[in-house]
């Protein structure tokens, strides 16, 4: 039995233009069993195996000390548990590291959505002078000196190690980071005992009075759109990409999949626990940005402390098991 979720939204207190009345009704949806790949980069087992080795290989960074997995830890749903990861030269980055559970379902990447595909995203951190600080021509040369890589790239792509192939392999690996059904998915599929009564109450609030579902919906519990919710003001977010002041301080709605494992929260890592996040929505949302722009959301001042506990209990049901990923042996 599949639970029929027809959720009627009362569109009160929303900024004009953010949600139009004829937008489809947002719903909570289970995860697909696998994440589809684009026609130009089909997911195959040998490609995924190559992508996994690259993901863990510090030779991808300029000084050969940092891999993707330095910041994206398998045991933390591929986030890293710190407010800001340390980049090249031990300097903290400006944003919190995102988890990667089910990341292949997004259609834009990073807090500001600046990459349109995982293929496009992959070379960003390698090349970035504040992250892995690697020259891409140098990277190709380095990998082609490794016998094991030369063979694998030849087998998978029929070419030497090129940036295009490196990006494709990394993307294919990341598309396999799909979680097993979480208690929440099992509940959606009809297993009434999969989540506690407290979590059910939290879910009612999430889709009802607390208004979370307006932005957090679909299989990732993210609509993939950009909002100004006022966690902090030091970062212009989406505005830096579009050069439109209207987008200043807007960030992509994050996925809530495996959210209990990826503390701390928000683009700046400023909120330590899920309790702090819900408290922020209830009491902390400011009225306007320092430039006077209104927010896309209002605080829920009518909510109670027990509502916070229920919402947190619900958020905790969204964790599913990731594939067991261990550090692979790196080719010589
Ligand atoms: C020094 C730490 C660091 C390293 C190394 C790193 N990342 Fe990240 N990653 C981050 C941070 C921080 C963000 C968010 C950046 C932003 O939004 O501007 C991020 C974001 C991402 C995202 C976007 C997730 C989403 O929800 O949109 C993906 C995918 C990703 N990284 C994959 C990789 C891959 C692949 C590598 C290796 C080639 C890598 N990262 C290396 C810190 C790191
Ligand atoms: C107007 C759209 C919107 C609404 C409504 C909304 N959120 Fe969010 N949510 C966002 C955005 C955007 C962010 C990221 C903000 C940032 O990084 O500064 C976010 C961040 C979060 C995070 C932290 C995720 C992470 O990876 O750091 C959690 C947890 C969360 N929201 C839960 C909720 C809950 C619970 C509700 C209801 C009480 C809610 N949201 C209502 C848009 C929304």
Q: What is the pLDDT of residues 10-65, one digit of tens each?
A: 333 333 334 444 556 788 999 998 899 999 999 999 999 999 999 999 999 999 99
Number of residues written out for the chain: 332
Using a pLDDT cut of 90, give the percent of the chain over it: 89
Q: For the chain, state the CA radius of gyration.
A: 21
Write the CA distances from 139 to 144, 150, 157, 324, integer angstroms. Answer: 8, 13, 17, 28
Protein residues with CB under 6 Å of any ligand 1 atom: 60, 66, 68, 70-72, 85, 87, 93, 95, 97-98, 100, 103, 106, 109-112, 118, 121-122, 125-126, 131-132, 170, 174
pLDDT at 34: 86
**CA separation for the pair 307, 322 (Å, rounded):** 29
Half-sphere exposure of 17 toward its Cβ, with a 13 Å CA cutoff?
6
> What ligand is nearest to the CA atom of residue 117?
1
Paired tokens of 158: 């029929």
Distance CA 187, CA 3 (A): 8
Per the CB < 8 A criterion, the answer to whether 85 and 94 are in contact is no
Dihedral sign from CA coordinates of 13, 17, 18, 23 = positive
- Protein residue with least CA distance to atom 2, ligand 1: 71
> How far is the C-alpha of 110 from the C-alpha of 175, rounded, in Å?
16
- What residues contact residue 305 under an 8 Å CB cut-off, 6+ apart? none
Q: Do residues 121 and 109 lie in contact, with contact meaning Cβ atoms separated by under 8 Å?
A: yes
- Which one, of 257, 93, 72, lies nearest residue 174 by Cα? 72
Q: How far apart are CA 285 and CA 227, in angstroms?
A: 13
pLDDT digits (tens, 9 = 90+) for 252-285: 999 999 999 999 999 999 999 999 999 999 999 9
Question: What token pair was written down for 122?
Answer: 């992959």
Task: Give pLDDT, residue 22.
Answer: 53
Does residue 278's CB lie within 6 angstroms of at least one atom of ligand 2? yes
Task: Look at residue 313 in the predicted model and tell me its pLDDT.
Answer: 98
pLDDT-flagged residues of the chain (< 70): 1-24
- Measured CA to CA, the distance from residue 267 to residue 263 in angstroms comes to 11
Q: What tokens appear for 98 in the block?
A: 């995102």
Q: How many whole angstroms separate alpha carbon 116 and alpha carbon 20?
A: 24
Closest ligand to Cα 268: 2
What atom of ligand 2 comes closest to residue 252's alpha carbon? 12
Cα separation of 164 and 148, whole Å? 18
Cα diameter, the chain: 64
In a mutational test of the pocket of ligand 1, which residue from 110, 224, 252, 255 has the highest number of ligand atoms less than 8 Å from its CB? 110
Query: Which residue's CA is the closest to the ligand 2 atom numbered 6?
Result: 212
Which tokens go with 111?
């807090």
Q: How far is the CA of 44 from the centre of ligand 2 (A)?
A: 34
For ligand 2, whether the C-beta of 277 sits within 6 Å is yes
- Rounded to the nearest angstrom, the distance between the alpha carbon of 35 and the centre of ligand 2 is 24
Alpha-carbon span 171 to 246, nearest angstrom: 32
Q: Which residues contact 153 (CB under 8 A, 6 or more apart)?
A: 50, 143, 159, 160, 161, 162, 165
Protein residue whose Cα sits closest to atom 32 of ligand 1 = 122
């Amino acid at each position: 039995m599949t639970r029929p979720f027809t959720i009627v939204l009362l569109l009160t207190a929303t900024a004009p233009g953010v949600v139009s009345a004829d937008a489809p009704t947002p719903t909570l949806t289970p995860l697909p069993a696998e994440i589809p790949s684009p026609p130009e980069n089909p997911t195959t087992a040998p490609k995924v195996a190559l992508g996994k080795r690259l993901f863990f290989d510090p030779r991808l960074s300029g000084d050969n000390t940092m891999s993707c997995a330095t910041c994206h830890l398998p045991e933390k749903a591929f986030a890293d548990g710190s407010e800001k990861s340390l980049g090249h030269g031990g300097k903290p980055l400006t944003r919190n590291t995102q988890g990667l559970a089910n990341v292949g379902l997004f259609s834009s990447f990073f807090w500001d959505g600046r990459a349109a595909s995982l293929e496009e995203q992959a070379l960003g951190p390698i090349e970035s002078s504040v992250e892995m600080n690697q020259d891409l021509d140098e990277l190709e040369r380095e990998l082609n000196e490794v016998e094991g890589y030369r063979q694998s790239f030849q087998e998978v792509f029929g070419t030497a190690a090129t940036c295009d192939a490196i990006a494709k392999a990394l993307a294919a690996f990341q598309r396999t980071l799909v979680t097993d059904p979480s208690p929440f998915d099992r509940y959606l599929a009809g297993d009434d005992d999969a989540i506690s009564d407290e979590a059910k109450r939290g879910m009612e609030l999430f889709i009802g009075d607390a208004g979370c579902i307006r932005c957090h919906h679909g299989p990732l519990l993210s609509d993939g759109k950009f909002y100004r919710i006022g966690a902090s003001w030091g970062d212009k977010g989406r505005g830096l990409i579009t050069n439109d002041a209207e987008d200043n301080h807007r960030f992509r709605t994050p996925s809530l999949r495996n959210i209990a494992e990826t503390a701390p929260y928000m683009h700046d890592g400023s909120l330590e626990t899920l309790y702090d996040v819900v408290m922020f929505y209830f009491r902390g949302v400011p009225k306007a940005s320092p430039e006077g722009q209104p927010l896309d959301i209002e605080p829920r001042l009518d909510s109670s402390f027990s509502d916070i506990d229920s919402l947190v209990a619900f958020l905790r049901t969204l964790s599913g098991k990731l594939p067991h990923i261990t550090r692979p042996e790196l080719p010589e």
